[in-house]
Amino acid sequence: MTRAFNFCAGPAALPTTVLERAQQEMADWHGKGLSIMEMSHRSKEFVSVAEKAEQDLRDLMQIPGNYKVLFMQGGASSQFAMIPMNLLRGKSKADYINTGQWSKKAIAEAKRYCDVNIAATAEGSGFCSAPAQNELNLSADAAYVHYCPNETIGGVKFDYIPETGDVPLVADFSSSILSEEVDVSKFGMIYAGAQKNIGPAGLCVVIIREDLLGEAIDGTPTMFSYKVAADNASMYNTPPSYSWYLAGLVFEWLKEQGGVAAMAEINQRKAKKLYDYIDGSGFYANPVAKNNRSIMNVPFTLKDDALDKTFLAESEAAGLLNLAGHRSVGGMRASIYNAVPEAGVDALIEFMAEFAEKNS
């Protein structure tokens, strides 16, 4: 079997060695005679898998002891509602920074529960940049400040962590978690859908400071309470156990690669190669401000968009999959997450060069 290079934005590429190990353990996990997906989530075997996954994530991200790590269902989209439900804590306002599609969705959901102050927006740049710190109009009475450090669709990345004073900073790290080091202590809460850099869809990781637990608004469903999740070790109900297990395998793989710092070096190198080629090609273009270019999601356009369908057909035939841009913006997008090897980026650049030469 030959593995293609998968540039999908999510569900995204998983490390081949992780898939192979999961395949080996599929029918018989560690000699138990059953698959881990058939196992009780309360068994000592699965609890050991869950606890190791959490500890490995804590090690990788150097998560302080006063933060809870939750493994939840519903993806990042459920968090859009759960955040105001849990973090308003008697206040009626929250600040949001709008840098694209996922910011917009978070804002729309938050408006169901509180007054939303748009602290800054990148609409004026066509969502091709991120607002600077001095452009943020933050509210002194906000319950929290929410932003998306890396917008998957537009390929826009903040090049700084917003300073919010005593107001908790909440961040949607779905498409950039574990891609480079981050100081968790600067955040009240970090959350990330798993299907980009952690594992398969169906799981969302929440990292939340303990002092933010326990003040959910009246009427919050039990399943939507972070405190309930924390008090029950993410097992108030049956969790997405197989996704949790696979996430644990990915965390082990990341440790074997040298951890987040080592992955960041590789990711920077992959992104630089691709951006340097695009910028120098004369055939392709990237619209994002250079200081805000994502190292995970690289959108690009062709000189003539009439060639888009041909590009996609030929790239797929060459084993380069899922390069179509998001339906809301068109063009192309290469998502080069941790599990996309450098050889995949090299193969993509080689294909792009050949395609440009044929069609110039």
Mean pLDDT for the stretch of residues 326-352: 95
- pLDDT tens column, 171-225: 999 999 999 999 999 999 999 999 999 999 999 999 999 999 999 999 999 999 9
Is 314 a residue whose pLDDT tops 70?
Answer: yes
- Element of type H or E holding 312: helix 308-317
Comma-separated ranges of CATH 3.90.1150.10 domains in the chain: 259-359
- pLDDT tens column, 18-33: 999 999 999 999 999 9
What is residue 330's predicted lDDT score, i.e. its pLDDT?
A: 85
Cβ 191 vs Cβ 206: under 8 Å: yes
What is the distance between the alpha carbons of residues 178 and 92, in angstroms, rounded to a whole number? 33
What is residue 173's predicted lDDT score, i.e. its pLDDT?
A: 98
Is 5 a residue whose pLDDT tops 90?
Answer: yes
Residues facing residue 205 across a β-bridge:
71, 192
What is the distance between the alpha carbons of residues 190 and 199, in angstroms, rounded to a whole number? 17
What is residue 1's predicted lDDT score, i.e. its pLDDT?
A: 60
Rounded to whole angstroms, what are the CA distances from 327 to 154, 178, 243, 278, 350?
A: 11, 26, 27, 21, 26
Q: Establish whether 166 is a catalytic residue.
A: no
pLDDT above 70 covers a percentage of the chain that reads 100
Q: List the one residue out of 16, 23, 61 whose CA is nearest residue 341.
A: 16
Reported as a pLDDT band with limits 50, 70 and 90, residue 327 is confident
Mean pLDDT for the stretch of residues 30-57: 97
Query: Of 29, 196, 244, 253, which is the active-site residue?
Result: 196
What is the distance between the alpha carbons of residues 268 and 206, in angstroms, rounded to a whole number? 25
Is 306 a residue whose pLDDT tops 80?
Answer: yes
Q: Establish whether 102 is a catalytic residue.
A: yes
Comma-separated ranges of CATH 3.40.640.10 domains in the chain: 16-256
What is residue 198's predicted lDDT score, i.e. its pLDDT?
A: 98
Q: Establish whether 172 is a catalytic residue.
A: yes
- pLDDT tens column, 248-270: 999 999 999 999 999 999 999 99
Mean pLDDT for the stretch of residues 1-5: 86
Cβ 333 vs Cβ 18: under 8 Å: no
What is the distance between the alpha carbons of residues 195 and 11, in angstroms, rounded to a whole number? 5
- pLDDT tens column, 142-171: 999 999 999 999 999 999 999 999 999 999
Alpha carbon 116 to its chain's center: 23
Mean pLDDT of the chain: 97
Reported as a pLDDT band with limits 50, 70 and 90, residue 108 is very high
Query: Of 56, 95, 102, 244, which is the active-site residue?
Result: 102
Backbone angles phi, psi at 125, to 5 degrees: -95, 10
Fold of 16-256: Aspartate Aminotransferase; domain 2 (3.40.640)
Query: Of 56, 68, 95, 172, which is the active-site residue?
Result: 172
The reported pTM is 0.97
Residues facing residue 93 across a β-bridge:
115
Name the CATH code of domain 259-359 (choices 3.40.50.1000, 3.30.70.141, 3.90.1150.10, 3.20.20.10): 3.90.1150.10
Reported as a pLDDT band with limits 50, 70 and 90, residue 328 is confident
